Amino acid sequence: MMGRFGTLVLFAAMLGLMAPVHAATTKKLEQPNGKKVALKSGGSTKAQSKPKLAAKSKTKSAVAPGNSSKLAAQARKPVRHVAMNDVDPGRLAIQSASALVIDQSTGQALVEKQPDSVLPIASITKLMTAMVVLDARLDLQEVIAISDEDVDWLKGSRSRLPVGTTMTRETAMLLALMSSENRAANALGRHYPGGLSAFVQAMNRKAAALGMYSSRFEEPTGLSSNNVSTAHDLARMVAAAARYPEIRSYSTTAEARVEIKGRVRDFGNTNALVRSDNWEIGISKTGYISEAGRCLVMQANVAGKPVVIVLLDSNGKMTRVGDANRIKRWMESAVGTSGRRSA
């Protein structure tokens, strides 16, 4: 009897009886509309808020005369709903060294690959940087400046923000999250009350408060390989970052035009998936340094489920994107109606 009851519960969940939970969570997700955001550095112009992406409605096609009997026959055919645990996630062939997919509505881990390995996280760090700035309730319209202290003397990475550039704190946060501008991120930390050392202490206090016990932050950009975490810890961080409207908006902005020293420059998102109509992304951040490989974290709505995806230490420029797309296809096939096992 208990076996039959368990089966009925599983089928009920797959048939959408838990949809209100998913829907309530999904409402929090915001999507970019693909439009550019125009900002002036040093000015008080706010980043344009992007409207929420309306859910795509599925309009039924009119049934042509004579086809109703055929459709009725198809409707009578038995349909098997494939549960997530019916499909082996090992067949996904995830290329990232560490990976984790969490169903936020249940807390269940759908995919795990070395999720507790402590690894450098590169610019994924900037999500923590943004949270600490917002927690301090600093004036986002205050003008801050890029100085020599913000230049990357560690890795020698390039920046499109020359020393002397001024911009609002809001613009600096947008460029740090969207385009992963290291000088903007460092300037955010340097202009924190108490300076950079106080900012780093606040980052580690925030990590501890979130239960990120295997994580350590040394600076606000991610250029240091001593900024480390695990996939499990980062899933907690991404879920926390999703509660900040500014981070949702800025991290998923596709493009922005920013006036820098009288010249307008175009900046793009480092995650190409935010421009894809096939993805509904609420939070996005990429990262790369040689020690960390290519990393990607997202909160997204996939196959009707709000999920957090963490991919660390991917080899190859497109591997992390390929892993994300494989996970998406697997989830969509698992909750679809099919008579075959697929992954």
**Residues labelled as active-site residues:** 123, 126, 180
User: For 146, left (φ over 0), alpha (ψ -120 to 50), or beta?
Assistant: beta
Cα–Cα distance measured from residue 198 to residue 221, given in angstroms and rounded to the nearest whole number:
15
Q: Which two tokens stand for residue 35?
A: 């439009």
CA angle 47/196/255 to nearest 5° reads 25
Instruction: Measure the CA dihedral 98/316/93/312, to 10°.
Output: 10
Count CA within 13 A, CB hemisphere, residue 332: 10
Cα–Cα distance measured from residue 44 to residue 142, given in angstroms and rounded to the nearest whole number:
8
Cα–Cα distance measured from residue 89 to residue 96, given in angstroms and rounded to the nearest whole number:
14
CB-based burial of residue 322 (10 Å sphere; 0-12 exposed, 13-18 middle, 19+ buried)? middle
Cα–Cα distance measured from residue 185 to residue 327, given in angstroms and rounded to the nearest whole number:
30
Phi and psi angles of residue 27, each rounded to the nearest 5 degrees, phi first: -60, -20
CB-based burial of residue 175 (10 Å sphere; 0-12 exposed, 13-18 middle, 19+ buried)? buried
Cα–Cα distance measured from residue 15 to residue 129, given in angstroms and rounded to the nearest whole number:
40
Name every residue whose Cβ is closer than 8 Å to that of residue 304 and which is 6 or more positions away in sequence. 19, 22, 26, 335
Cβ proximity of 148 and 160 under 8 Å: no
Name every residue whose Cβ is closer than 8 Å to that of residue 175 and which is 6 or more positions away in sequence. 161, 167, 181, 184, 256, 258, 267
CB-based burial of residue 291 (10 Å sphere; 0-12 exposed, 13-18 middle, 19+ buried)? middle
